[in-house]
């Protein structure tokens, strides 16, 4: 092979290597947390009445999600669960459990904001706002200014919101979810349980198939 051919081959190999890296990074972002340990395959803690829930309590399908508001993969999967809510909201109940990762600087602050909004009956509105505007607040030096702004946008009493965010019981609730997730040996977010069994899916179509399988039982 002449020198020019060698140079072309080198650039081809570099291009292949870069493509592999990009695909690997994409898979890491959009794939839910792996749950290889058998102890994580079933949900150990039943859904309680005081959990953050949306949908009919009599729904045939219940999806429990351990999630982190600053997690890019969680934001990606939020779009799927939101679509499922729009299309199957009368058939599926959604349960949100906090699992903020220590590697995400503002994740716990966002979780507290969602719980503070919940004290005014607006948990899910703040939940949606945090995921839809994740790019905005997650990269700021101080996320709190954005969170207060979101409180205004979703119609909260901002003074009460700020005060409630200081309540120790909000931290306790988040810590309780983390403890349960740790007991499940959850390694990352998001982790989904559908009717008590851990599930993984890469597309909305796969999620639909999982839900349909339960509805058709």
Statement: residue 9 has pLDDT above 60: no
194 CB burial (10 A radius; 0-12, 13-18, 19+): buried
CATH 1.10.760.10 assigned to domain 38-215? The reply is no
Q: Any bridge partners for residue 191, and if so which? A: 66
Side-by-side strand order, sheet with 197-199: 52-54, 92-98, 61-67, 191-194, 197-199
Q: CA 140, CA 135: separation in Å to the nearest integer?
A: 9
d(CA 205, CA 209): 6
Query: 190: cis peptide before it, omega within 30°?
Result: yes
Burial of 18 (0-12, 13-18, 19+ CB in 10 A): exposed
Q: Is the pLDDT of residue 25 over 60?
A: no
Across residues 120-141, what is the average pLDDT? 98
Q: How far apart are CA 54 and CA 80, in angstroms?
A: 15
Which candidate, 38, 148, 82, 53, places its Cα nearest to that of 74?
82
Question: pTM surpassing 0.85?
Answer: no
Q: Is 8 or 54 the better-scoring residue by pLDDT? A: 54
Model confidence pLDDT, tens digit, residues 178-201: 999 999 999 899 999 999 999 999
> Helices 107-118 and 123-132, interaxial angle, to 10°?
150
**Crossing angle, helix 144-153 and helix 107-118, to 10 degrees?**
30
pLDDT (tens digit, 9 = 90+) per residue, 69-105? 999 999 999 999 999 999 999 999 999 999 999 999 9
By the 8 A CB rule, do 40 and 184 touch? Answer: yes
How would residue 3 be classed by pLDDT, with cut points 50, 70 and 90?
A: low
């Amino acid at each position: 092979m002449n020198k020019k051919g060698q140079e072309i081959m080198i650039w081809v190999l570099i291009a292949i290597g870069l493509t592999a890296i990009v695909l690997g990074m994409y898979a890491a972002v959009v794939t839910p947390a792996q749950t290889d340990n058998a102890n994580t395959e079933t949900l150990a803690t039943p859904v309680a009445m005081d959990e953050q829930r949306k949908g009919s309590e009599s729904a045939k399908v219940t999806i429990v999600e351990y999630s982190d508001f600053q997690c890019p993969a969680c934001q990606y999967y939020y779009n799927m669960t939101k679509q499922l809510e729009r299309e199957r909201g009368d058939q599926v109940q959604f349960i949100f459990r906090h699992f903020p990762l220590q590697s995400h600087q503002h994740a716990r602050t966002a979780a507290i904001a969602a719980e503070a909004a919940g004290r005014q009956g607006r948990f899910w509105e703040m939940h949606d706002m945090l995921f839809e505007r994740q790019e905005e607040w997650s990269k700021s030096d101080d996320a709190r200014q954005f969170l207060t702004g979101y409180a205004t946008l979703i119609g909260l009493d901002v003074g009460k919101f700020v005060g409630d965010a200081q309540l120790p019981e909000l931290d306790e609730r988040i810590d309780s979810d983390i403890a349960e997730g740790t007991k499940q040996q959850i390694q990352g977010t998001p982790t989904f349980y559908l009717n008590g069994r851990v599930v993984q899916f890469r597309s909305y179509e796969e999620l639909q198939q999982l839900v349909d399988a339960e509805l058709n039982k």
